[in-house]
Structure 1
Amino acid sequence: MTSPSQFHGWLGYDAKAAQGNLQWAPFTPKPFAETDIDIKITHCGICGTDIHTLRSGWGPTHYPICVGHEIVGHVTRTGSSPAASRFAIGDRVGVGAQAASCLQDGCQECSAGMEQHCPRGFVGTYNGRYKESGYWSMGGYADYIRVPAHFAVKIPKRLKSADAAPMLCGGITVFSPLKNNGAGPGKRVGIVGLGGLGHFGVLFAKALGCEKVVAISRRRNKENDALAMGADEYIATSEDDKWEKNHSRTLDLIVSTVSTPDMPFSGYLRLLRTNGQFIQVGAPEDNLPAIAAFALIAKGCKIGGSQIGSPKEIEEMLRFAAEKGVKPWVQTRPMKEANRSVVDMEDGKARYRYVLFNEGEDSAKL
């Protein structure tokens, strides 16, 4: 296996790209460094972040851009550094939402294994700028990707590539706050939103052995799916009468995956028990709603946030998923259908994660 000098991918040239106006075109990857590996992409999940970025929803995007940060493929080139030498040509590996951090001994976050919170050198897998070369990172709606090896992980044999890909961002985004905030036996956990992230929340909370898993959504149209995923209970906030009162003080932890500021925030907090925690992982383009101070003070509630996970956390999650047989609900589509898939994702048609695959070499079956 070798890597070409030019990669090809679905490029967005302006904010209209989010409307299905991506163009398949060549691009030049960052210069190869001895800390890098090249990956021939077989699969790439579609994440809500892709759409926010394509339309410059979270701030100005650097165009042209190739999005996609739920990437699985095979190594085609490795550098000579210790990080890169962990991999051999042909290894099946994955890359999530982060491609670089400073990795300096003086960085408290990197030294503590929290690279995703690095304040000095965080580079996203796309729309991030590598300080050393000045090149902008390009993502996985493509045939190849070049990334620093530190942020690549091996995929366990028991996981199919189409299942592993969306775990690399969608999965870790909820696995990390669940695990780090005590989800497990004896805990009652609520998952707000039953989309790509939320369905992972239900799957992982159940696999972690939580006493009760409650799916919380606006409407009741996803109830059967939630129960099939392992939810013990379902709350439809726009259809259930007095849901805040009827379920008051029933949950220890709530993980919110929704990316809209139009949420009944105070109602969610009412569901928490004393010393309960509310963790936001969805990232709206506008501010979250205001809340009354006594919604926190009266029960000693805590509000927090969580951002993806470190490479070690991702490896832990993949091992856990393989051991417990966690299987996401995915729909695979050929890479050539990226434009249609982005539009369908924005329209809420995914049940519950689209995964693009490059045709050839039986990629759809891996």
Structure 2
Amino acid sequence: MSTTHGYAARDSQSSLAPFEFQRRSLRECDVQIDVLYCGVCHSDLHQARNEWNNTIYPVVPGHEIVGRVAQVGPGVTRYKSGDLVGVGCLVDSCRTCASCAEGLEQYCENGFVLTYNGADRQSGEMTFGGYSTRIVVDEAFVLRVPDKLDPAGAAPLLCAGITTYSPLRQWGAGPGKKVGIVGLGGLGHMGVKLARAMGAHVVLFTTSPSKVEDAKRLGAHEVVISKDPAQMQAHANSFDFLLNTVAAQHDLNPFIELLKRDATMTLVGAPGHDHPSPQVFNLIFKRRRLAGSLIGGIAETQEMLDFCGEHGITSDIEVIPMQKINEAYERMLKSDVKYRFVIDLDSLRQ
């Protein structure tokens, strides 16, 4: 057991506050990681405030983790002390079902184990996440972070990066494809960067004219103000793929109408309440598809990290000390961040 310092929410109404707990002793294939940086995902806020009605307290959020290996169990073969590594949203799965066998642990049919607010498959104890100075994870769920990437900027790749990379790859974003990214936040800005690096023609949709120049800086070829019907109509029936990253409730119909025949819009934003149901005829008459996607498996997450290493892609971040996490949550609710907060865990070691 090792004493670990972190920040936790004790109930849905309280602010996150200092929390000391014990990490488990190393099992055969465990890797102990000293956490350097942890991204702040909007789902952290949902969980801390029990907005999805599934939080078990106390909860230590954080699933966009980059750190260095401190110790390894006797059976570890992939990592050694000093390696730069990452941990994303999952720390275990059944490893035997059809989805796990295909490297799709995020769709584990017997239930994957979340990095925090999940039940350990051996002990049954609740998992605690990356808002902490160290974490212990089975090597099968540890990722190698390319050394050429800035560790702080790489942290959000472990959730925001793979959440956008996986559907872009699944639905064939690449040269000759017109790809739309809906929303320019933590997910959307990664979608723009990745789709551009894949070779697609990238169009960013936003309700905010103030984001036009930034979207182009990030790699969008075009920017459409989605509340302008004329701008939307100019792109009707023209997209091969749309990646919708918006978590707020909104009308999906204007975006579905932008799809070509047989094209797909995939939802990755996680709203507190469902979007209004789209008009069925918008789907029927052009055989359009409305889909969803959840992060990625371990192999695909490593593929994404390697792709980002090759193309020099990291998240646009604002680094904060752990002590400012509650302020960051309030700013995040106001979209006052470009585009991801990342916690410097050295702030808990001082």
TM over 0.5: yes
Q: 1:192 to 1:284 in 2, by over 3 A?
A: same
SS at match of 1:332: strand
SS at match of 2:159: helix
The residue aligned with 2:140 is 150
- Please give the secondary structure, in 2, of the residue aligned with 1:15: coil
Deviation at 1:32, TM superposition (A): 3.4
Equivalence for 1:13: 10
**Residue correspondence of structure 1 range 1-366 to structure 2 within 5 A:** 5-17=2-14, 21-81=15-75, 84-104=76-96, 107-210=97-200, 212-238=201-227, 240-261=228-249, 263-359=250-346
Q: Is the 8 A contact 1:100 1:121 kept in 2?
A: no
Separation (CA, whole Å) in 1 of partners of 2:230 and 2:213: 21
Residue 64 of structure 1 aligns with an amino acid whose one-letter code is: P
- Aligned-pair CA distance for 1:31: 5.0
Misfit runs of 4+, over 6 Å: none
**How far apart are 1:116 and its partner, in Å?**
0.8
SS of equivalent to 2:136? strand
TM-score when normalising by structure 1: 0.92
Q: Say which SS state the counterpart of residue 6 (structure 1) adopts.
A: strand
Q: What is the CA–CA distance in structure 1 between the aligned matches of 2:283 and 2:346, rounded to whole Å? A: 51
Distance in 2 between the 1:308 and 1:168 partners?
A: 9
Amino acid at match of 2:207: R
Separation in structure 1 between the aligned mates of residue 112 and residue 25 of structure 2, nearest angstrom:
18
Alignment partner of 2:100: what SS? helix
Root-mean-square deviation over aligned CA pairs = 1.7
SS for the counterpart of 1:354 is: strand
Q: Is the 2:2–2:24 Cα contact (8 Å) retained in structure 1?
A: no
Are the counterparts in 1 of residues 69 and 82 from structure 2 also a CA contact under 8 Å?
A: yes
Q: Is contact 1:79–1:85 with CA below 8 Å preserved after alignment?
A: no
SS of 1:190's partner is strand
Partner secondary structure for residue 333 of structure 1: strand
Shift of 1:60: 2.5
Residues 141 and 338 in structure 1, CA contact (< 8 A), matched pair in contact too: no
Give 1:299's aligned amino acid: K
The alpha carbon displacement at 1:346 in A equals 2.1
Contact 1:51 1:346 in 2 (8 A): no
> In 2, Cα distance between the equivalents of 1:16 and 1:158?
41
2:2 aligned counterpart, secondary structure: coil
Contact 1:192/1:198 (<8 A) preserved: yes
Instruction: Provide the secondary structure at the position in 2 that maps to 1:28.
Output: strand
User: Displacement, 1:140?
Assistant: 0.5
Gaps of 5+ in 2: none
- TM-score, length basis structure 2: 0.96
For residues 124 and 229 of structure 2, the distance between their equivalents in structure 1, rounded to whole angstroms, comes to 55
Aligned pairs, how many? 350
Q: Secondary structure at the match of 1:165?
A: helix
Equivalent position SS for 2:192: helix
- Superposed displacement of residue 89, structure 1: 1.2
Q: How far 1:342 sits from its partner (Å)?
A: 2.1
Q: Distance in 2 between matches of 1:347 and 1:65?
A: 23
Q: Share of identical aligned residues, percent? A: 39
Matched position secondary structure for 2:202: strand
